[in-house]
Structure 1
Amino acid sequence: MQALHNTVTRISIGALVVALATSAHADQVVKIGHFAPLTGMSAHVGKDDQNGARLAIEEINAKGLVIDGQKIQLALVGEDDAADPKTGTVVAQKLVDDGVVAVVGSDFSSTAIPASRIFSEAGITQISTGATNPVYTLQGFKTTFRVVGTDAQQGPALANYAVAALKVKSVAIVDDSTSYGQGLATEFEKRMKALGVKVVSHDATSDKAVDFRSVLTKIKGENPDVIMYGGEDAAGGPFAKQAMQLGIKAKILGGDGVCTETLPQLAGQAIDKVICSEAGMALSKMPGGVEFQQKYKKRFGQPIEMYAPYAYDSVYIIVDAMKRADSTATAKILAAMPATNYKGVIGETVFNPQGDLQHGVISMFYYNKGVKTLIDIVKL
């Protein structure tokens, strides 16, 4: 893992060095921060997010950017939050000290929420690409924005689908004890109870767990129609696999944390039992999704995991605020953010007073022979 961390660090520093080397042709180098898990169990998701931001910055630099009469060269300053809340605050302060004018990240609620206070105190715009816990934008900070829906929308949508399409009468719930997993599971549970579904149990595990047989054996005895897992794919995949090994026939429901392209590798044959949601539009249905997917694959040699389109648009949204403010000053960028009306890959981005999307969607998926397949889109 240390070798991977060193490699990621070199890549991030390398990008900054390249930007500085080419700054001879620019009047000003402007740093945009990014933080996400780049090492550990969720590194594939974080790297995907960073790649989206990097692609946007490369495009903008290639086209040329002029703000207030000055030629601007953008530089991405990337940091690894390791999906750890304490590390999240450390890298947030580092980004502030590095002089970034705005930040994209994190895609995890567990790190985006504690880091948000640091950015708020510094007056720096923070756009999260995947922090779905409602708390993120409900803290009273004027600096927090997100380009995905919330668990207060995603949890009920997942519950509604389970009742309407699967005719669920009972459910067992397990969360990974993170702010994301707990938040999603809680919202799901509230809606299930409101719909008259029996919640037979709600257990907690860890986002670092690898053995779920104890809790799954208990759940097998409870015989629920479905099991809802609140957490990320790194643990959610083995959770589904071990449920199948124990002979549990119930389907596994999950949120955007498990709804990745890597999940089939993690869940094995149990992938056929997984139904999951995303707090955004399916890539295939995004206005610029198909074209973006082609560009991304050409640049990075791999398919999109999940959050890359949101990080890509987030960089363009920050630059749009710069253009409207005709300034690269952090305070002026932040002042321009509430009036955002940007049409990009993911669609139209307009923020409400809390910094959430005015018009969000929830997409539902299943895996057809290991291929992530859209079931339905719920407009909010």
Structure 2
Amino acid sequence: MRNKKIIGMILVVLSVVTSLVGLTGCSNTVSQKVLKIGVIGPESGGAAQLGQGQRKAIQLAVDEINAQKLAGDWKLEAYFEDDEGNPTKSASATNKLIQQSQVNVIIGAIHSSATLADMVITQRTGIPQLTAGSTGASITEQGNKWVFRTAVNDEFQANALLKYAKDVTKVTKIATLTAADDYGQSGEKLLIIAAQKEGLELTNKSTYNNGDKDFKPQLLSIKDSGAQAIFMWGLYNDAALIAKQAKQLGLNVQLFGASGMAAQKLIELGGDAVQGLILTQTFLPSSPDQKVSEFVNKYKNQYQEDPIPHAAQAYDTVYILADAVKKANSNKPDALRDAIAKTTGLKLVTGNPQFDDKGNDIGKHLLITAIKGNMYELIQTVSTN
């Protein structure tokens, strides 16, 4: 009888141990089949519309990829942090996502200065980072194999804008008015190089600090220089104020801008002053393309508003990650990074992604657009290939 009790106890213990081992194995399997995505952007502050659009699009993509099992056995999870467009806060958010949330990949940031701060951390920790909003040239010029860009870089945008200005608007004298941060100063250098390439005269170059309210000193200097066009490189809130004050001063010039200011808020804040402003972007909600239409309809049904270009680029970025983790069948940094680098064969909302050896997406279509009424109108498409 005693032996039977001992044998019974041994069987119970073995059963419990076996169950625990099974549960542990199951837990490990589950954890290996989850791709944790950390997302950083300005969800508050002067560029909040860009960060909020990014967040909405990423969550939309994550939900539909999981529902349709488009990443195979892998489940995607998104963890969001607001950096307010501040490089120091962005770096802190990156550390938090990697150390506390233990994310496998980062999507961020939007401000180029914030992305540059985050890159130091992702490179040190060996975590892939994709920016769906930062276009500063220096981001992909540092030989950092962990960084990819799903926006069109500033160099290509500057070249396209200056060529259009010369060939179509026929201007010969230009001025630049750019933000004093990394994004703006990178843009200024590229605009000057592009102007020289096109044989255009640079009559004035001026800068401003983000959040400035008075641009009249710079605009008066530009007016005195005889410039026929002003090329701005900054975000939508500053661009709207610049346009309003240029109109108040009677500047009869053509305004140009880059994708950093491509948001509906530019039209709302700028009103009549931004009518006719020409700028670059990668996405228009009015496009007849089937992929674009499907995305716009899903986004509008979910959020009751049109998506902005930053949202479309972020949405595509999640699909790139879903494809990469499915092909790699791993969320390990090296395997994931290599799979991202080899991305091909996808037809997405903003193009057919393919990365060059620097991490730039060369499968985009750059759109030159003009503000007409309350919308952006396509005036020219330029291939990045």
Q: TM-score, normalised by structure 2?
A: 0.87
Aligned length: 353
Quick one: distance in 1 between partners of 2:40 and 2:249? 38
Q: Which residue of 2 aligns with 1:364?
A: 368
Which of 261, 266, 270 matches 1:263?
Answer: 266
Structure (1 or 2) with the greater strand fraction: 1
**Equivalence for 1:191:** 194
Structure-to-structure mapping, 1:245-264, within 5 angstroms: 245-264=248-267
What SS does the aligned partner of 1:353 have?
A: coil
Which amino acid in 1 is paired with 2:85?
A: A
- Aligned counterpart, 1:312: 315
Deviation at 1:63, TM superposition (A): 2.2
What is the CA-CA distance between 1:361 and the residue it aligns to? 3.0
CA distance in 2, matches of 1:172, 1:322: 46
Q: CA deviation at 1:31?
A: 1.7
Q: In 2, distance between residues paired with 1:367 and 1:313? A: 25
Comparing 142-151 with 328-337, greater Cα deviation is found at 328-337
User: Which of 173-182 and 337-346 deviates more?
Assistant: 337-346
Q: Deviations over 1:226-282 (max 9, x none)?
A: 11111110100111011001111111111011222221111111111411112x354
Question: Does structure 2 retain, via aligned residues, the 8 Å contact 1:175–1:204?
Answer: yes
> 2:230 and 2:274 mapped to 1: Cα distance?
14
Does residue 204 (structure 1) correspond to residue 207 (structure 2)? The answer is yes
Pick one of 45, 48, 53 that aligns with 1:48.
53
* Equivalent position of 1:379 in the other structure: 383
Question: Equivalent residue of 1:247, what SS?
Answer: coil
Q: What does residue 38 of structure 2 align with?
A: 33
State the one-letter code of the partner of 2:299: Y
Matched, 1:228 2:231: yes
Relative distance call for 1:120 and 1:354 in structure 2 (3 A) is same
How does 1:131-146 map onto structure 2 within 5 Å? 131-146=134-149
What SS class does the counterpart of residue 27 from structure 1 fall into? helix
Q: Which stretch of the first structure deviates more once superposed, 344-353 or 31-40? A: 344-353
Q: SS at the partner of 1:310?
A: helix
Match for 1:84 among 86, 96, 104?
A: 86
* Partner residue in 2 for 1:327: 330
Find the aligned partners of 1:103 and 1:267 in 2 and give their Cα distance.
33
Instruction: State the Cα RMSD in Å.
Output: 1.9
Letter in 2 for 1:243: A
Matched residue type, 1:108: H
Amino acid at match of 2:249: L
Tell me the residue number matched to 1:20.
none
Range with greater deviation from structure 2 (280-289 or 348-357): 280-289
**Match of residue 103 from structure 1:** 106
The structure with more radius of gyration? 2
Aligned-partner residue type, residue 311 of structure 1? A
Aligned to 2:246: 243
* Counterpart AA for 2:267: P
SS in 2 for 1:257: helix
Displacement of 1:146: 1.1
Q: Please list every run of at least 4 consecutive aligned residues from structure 1 whose deviation after the TM superposition is greater than 4 angstroms.
A: none
Q: How far apart in 2 are the matches of 1:365 and 1:195?
A: 20
Q: Deviations over 1:303-340 (max 9, x none)?
A: 11221111111111112111111112233211222211
Residue in 1 that maps onto 2:356: 352
Question: Structure 1: any 5+ residue segments left out of the alignment?
Answer: 1-23
Establish whether residue 288 from structure 1 lines up as the match of residue 291 from structure 2: yes
Which whole-Å CA distance do the structure 1 matches of 2:52 and 2:87 have between them?
18
Question: What 5-or-longer segments of structure 2 have no aligned partner?
Answer: 1-26
Alignment partners' CA distance in 2, 1:129 and 1:66: 20
1:174 aligns with one of 173, 177, 181: 177
CA contact (8 A) 2:177 2:232 kept: yes
Deviations 1:190-239 (A, max 9, x none): 11123221111111101211211121122222231011111110100111
Q: Deviations for 1:43-85, whole angstroms, at most 9, x for unmatched residues?
A: 0111101111111111122224676xxx543221001111111
Q: How far, CA to CA, are the matches of 2:375 and 2:70 in structure 1?
A: 39
Structure 2 CA distance, aligned partners of 1:191 and 1:297? 38
Q: Does 1:343 align with 2:343?
A: no
Q: 2:66 — aligned with what?
A: 61
Distance 1:181 1:289 in 2: 29
Contact 2:35-2:74 at 8 Å conserved across structures = yes
Cα 1:128–1:36 shift into 2, 3 Å: same
- What amino acid does structure 2 have at the position aligned with 1:110? S
Residue in 2 that maps onto 1:12: none
Aligned partners of 1:45 and 1:281: how far apart in 2? Answer: 14
Distance 2:328 2:154 in 1: 32
How high is the sequence identity, in percent, across the aligned residues? 28
Q: In 2, are the aligned partners of 1:200 and 1:224 still within 8 Å (CA)? A: yes
Secondary structure of the 2:360 match is coil
- What is the TM-score of this pair, normalised by structure 1? 0.88
Report if aligned partners of 2:351, 2:365 keep a CA contact under 8 Å in 1: no
Q: Which of 198, 219, 223 matches 2:222?
A: 219
Instruction: Please give the alpha-carbon distance, in whole angstroms, between the structure 2 residues aligned to 1:302 and 1:188.
Output: 33
Partner residue in 1 for 2:120:
117
Label 1:265 to 1:104 Cα distance change in 2 as closer, same or farther (>3 A).
Answer: same
Q: Matches of 1:287 and 1:379 in 2, distance apart?
A: 19
Tell me how far 1:286 sits from its aligned partner: 5.3
Shift of 1:186: 1.6
Q: Helix, strand or coil: the match of 1:276?
A: strand
